[in-house]
């Protein structure tokens, strides 16, 4: 009898675990005449609506790294949507190709912001999403994208960037920012000049934006990406301490804006 009871308990436990899992799906949408393939993740064991987090990928495109971060957020109780900023879910591995694709998007700021705005609208429309509780985060090119979205006056509670370029907003754009902004920067990141950092901070300070700027010691570009050193560029390297601390700061930002209930 004990054996039977144990077996039944294990079956029930397994069934519960099977039901409580992160669900993912590709959502296809359009911006103008171009098709995009975003990536949605949420925990289907959670009832009701929950805060939404929009995730913007690095210059490589919507790759496994961006999807992994999206799933990590879903496991913590958020509904997360990784936007596709290039179209057709495209991603590349060579820095030259990535630079060309990111450059094309950056060259047309209106289109850049429009793609980000449409992706936010897609997240808002998800039945799991509480459209009154929204955040945007991004890595590298994606961090710049999250800032560009904030510059439009988007209804965001929080924005977080990781090893991002910091486009300087106009006075009007800075004043349009509604979100609390967290910038996680590598103190030794040679890709982002100090002049850009100073100009960015000055504009946000003048607009009274709630900005937290953290420069992690000994961290260079792409410090959150474990295989960032595979390209042989010493300016792109993983830093475990900076990765873990910046992620913890993000979670604190989200909890402080949206309240408790998420797992650590």
pTM of the full structure: 0.91
What local confidence, expressed as pLDDT, does residue 133 receive?
Answer: 98
- Tokens 């993000």 belong to 250
| pLDDT tens per residue, range 73-99 | 999 999 999 999 999 999 999 999 999
In words, the CATH class of domain 23-258 is alpha beta
| pLDDT tens per residue, range 115-143 | 999 999 999 999 999 999 999 999 999 99
Sheet containing 34-43: order of strands: 22-31, 34-43, 79-83, 50-56, 129-139, 158-162, 180-186, 211-216
Boundaries of every domain in the chain:
23-258
């Amino acid at each position: 009898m004990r054996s039977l009871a144990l077996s039944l308990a294990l079956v029930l436990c397994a069934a519960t675990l099977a039901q409580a899992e992160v669900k993912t799906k590709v959502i296809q949408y359009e911006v103008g005449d171009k098709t995009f393939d975003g990536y949605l993740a949420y925990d289907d064991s959670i009832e009701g609506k929950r805060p939404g987090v929009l995730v913007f990928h690095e210059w490589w495109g919507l790759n496994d790294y961006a999807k992994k971060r999206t799933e990590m957020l879903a496991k913590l109780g958020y509904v997360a949507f990784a936007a596709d900023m290039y179209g057709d879910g495209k991603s590349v591995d060579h820095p030259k190709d990535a630079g060309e694709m990111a450059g094309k998007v950056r060259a047309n700021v209106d289109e850049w912001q429009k793609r980000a705005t449409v992706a936010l609208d897609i997240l808002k429309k998800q039945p799991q999403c509480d459209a009154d509780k929204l955040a945007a985060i991004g890595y590298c090119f994606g961090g710049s994208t999250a800032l560009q979205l904030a510059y439009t006056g988007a209804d965001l509670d929080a924005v977080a960037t990781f090893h991002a370029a910091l486009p300087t907003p106009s006075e009007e754009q800075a004043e349009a920012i509604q979100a609390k902004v967290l910038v996680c920067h590598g103190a030794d990141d040679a890709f982002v000049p100090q002049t850009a950092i100073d100009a960015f901070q000055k504009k946000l300070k003048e607009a009274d934006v709630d900005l937290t700027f953290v420069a992690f010691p000994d961290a260079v570009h792409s410090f959150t990406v474990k295989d960032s050193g595979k390209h042989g560029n010493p300016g792109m390297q993983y830093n475990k301490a900076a990765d873990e601390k910046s992620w913890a700061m993000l979670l604190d930002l989200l909890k402080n804006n949206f309240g408790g209930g998420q797992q650590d």
